């Protein structure tokens, strides 16, 4: 159990102290802890990091508090289009889905793409048909509806009328990264994308190297933030490269990418990462990031910055 560690995030953004009611705060902490426990139970029994990150993300997808699975945001057309990716660091195998609807747990669809298809990334109707053929669970529109997300969408629509460059500042994507007792790494990310997104927009989350990455030679990374900037920065792979090619520590690499390079580019958000030694980094340049970490040392969850 020396190395086993699991981190999760539930999105970064403008999350300030005082913005959440104490009961809401508690609900976020509890949901993050539930996800950590689900994943860590697997690691503790000697299970794989891939199983652990999928179990943790599945919990977060089923929780309406986060922008993934059940709690996914509305697109401009009032739909839900979800993206997800998994990657494991031993063989560097990856699977992803983009722009899918109706699938209860997109992370499981991403894993099915990795394990049961010859492809890495499936999108739209093809991805949905594949998930059906794999026997994955589907839910009706009511499962994905929440009054809170609906109100958020209406607000975004209204702002669009006066500000075409409207930028949504709350990123509720979920993700998990883990190192198992064998030193194998895995990462998973799942998202509803950005409120009011249009025209089949796909963010960084389902793109290996951008929002999700795992390579035993370096680290496993799951990102959350303004996807357009994270795509351009190839953020997750950049963290890995700084470790592999420049010899930076996990923490140094994550801070350089998020607190310097993404800030310079204009990208708001953060990431969670672990390496094969069981080190972890939970770094963000936004005001807060829903996050948590569990290892033999214990379990902790947090929401706000410094």
What span, in angstroms and rounded, lies between the C-alpha atoms of 191 and 81?
A: 9
Least gap, CB of 238 to ligand ASP (angstroms): 15
Residue nearest to ligand ASP (CB): 227
Measured from the CB atom, the residue of 267 and 278 that comes closer to ligand ASP is 267
Instruction: Find tokens 């290996």 and name the residue.
Output: 208
Measured from the CB atom, the residue of 9 and 240 that comes closer to ligand ASP is 9
Rule CB under 6 A: which residues touch ligand ASP?
Answer: 11, 67, 171-173, 191, 193-194, 203-205, 211, 224-225, 227, 230, 269
Measured from the CB atom, the residue of 28 and 171 that comes closer to ligand ASP is 171
Least gap, CB of 217 to ligand ASP (angstroms): 25
Measured from the CB atom, the residue of 106 and 225 that comes closer to ligand ASP is 225
Least gap, CB of 107 to ligand ASP (angstroms): 14
What span, in angstroms and rounded, lies between the C-alpha atoms of 51 and 141?
A: 28
Least gap, CB of 189 to ligand ASP (angstroms): 8
Give a three-class secondary structure readout of the chain: CCCCEEEEEEEEECCCCCCCCHHHHHHHHHHHHHHHHHHHHHHHCCCCHHHHHHHHHHHHHCCCCCCCHHHCCCCCCCCCCEEEEEEECCCCEEEEEEEECCECCHHHHHHHHHHHCCCCEEEHHHHHHHHHHCCCCECCHHHHCCHHHHHHHHHHHHHHHHCCCCCCCECCCEEEEEECCCCCEEEEEEECCCCCCCCCCCCCCCCECCCEEECCCCEEEEEEECHHHHHHHCHHHHHHHHHHHHCCCHHHHHHHHHHHHHHHHCCCEEEEEEECCCCEEEEECCCEEEEEEEECCEEEEEEECC
> What's the burial of 170, exposed, middle or buried (CB within 10 Å: 0-12/13-18/19+)?
middle
Least gap, CB of 67 to ligand ASP (angstroms): 5
Least gap, CB of 186 to ligand ASP (angstroms): 19
Q: Which residues are identified as catalytic?
A: 173
Measured from the CB atom, the residue of 205 and 285 that comes closer to ligand ASP is 205
Measured from the CB atom, the residue of 171 and 213 that comes closer to ligand ASP is 171
């Amino acid at each position: 159990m020396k190395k086993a560690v699991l981190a999760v995030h539930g999105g970064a953004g403008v999350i300030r102290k005082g913005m959440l009611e104490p009961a809401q705060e508690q609900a976020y902490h509890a949901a993050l802890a539930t996800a950590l426990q689900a994943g860590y139970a697997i690691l503790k029994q000697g299970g794989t990091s891939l199983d652990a990150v999928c179990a943790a993300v599945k919990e977060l997808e089923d929780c309406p508090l986060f922008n993934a699975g059940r709690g996914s945001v509305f697109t401009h057309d009032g739909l839900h289009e979800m993206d997800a990716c998994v990657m494991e660091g031993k063989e560097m195998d990856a699977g992803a889905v983009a722009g899918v609807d109706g699938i209860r747990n997109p992370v499981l669809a991403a894993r099915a793409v990795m394990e049961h298809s010859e492809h890495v990334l499936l999108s739209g109707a093809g991805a949905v048909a594949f998930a059906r053929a794999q026997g994955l669970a589907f839910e009706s529109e009511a499962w994905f509806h929440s009054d809170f997300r609906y109100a958020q969408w209406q607000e975004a629509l209204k702002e669009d009328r006066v500000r075409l460059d409207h930028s949504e500042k709350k990123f509720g994507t979920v993700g998990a990264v883990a190192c198992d007792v064998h030193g194998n790494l895995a990462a998973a990310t799942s998202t509803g994308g950005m409120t009011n997104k249009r025209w089949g927009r796909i963010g960084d989350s389902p793109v290996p190297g951008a929002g999700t990455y795992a390579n035993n030679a370096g680290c496993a990374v799951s990102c959350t933030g303004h996807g357009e900037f994270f795509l351009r920065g190839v953020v997750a792979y950049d963290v890995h490269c700084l470790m592999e090619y420049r010899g930076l520590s996990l923490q140094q690499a994550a801070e350089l990418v998020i607190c310097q390079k993404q800030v310079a580019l204009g990208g708001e958000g953060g990431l969670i990462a672990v390496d094969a030694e069981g080190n972890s980094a939970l770094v963000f340049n936004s005001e807060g990031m829903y996050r948590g970490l569990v290892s033999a040392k214990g379990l902790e969850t947090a929401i706000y910055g410094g």
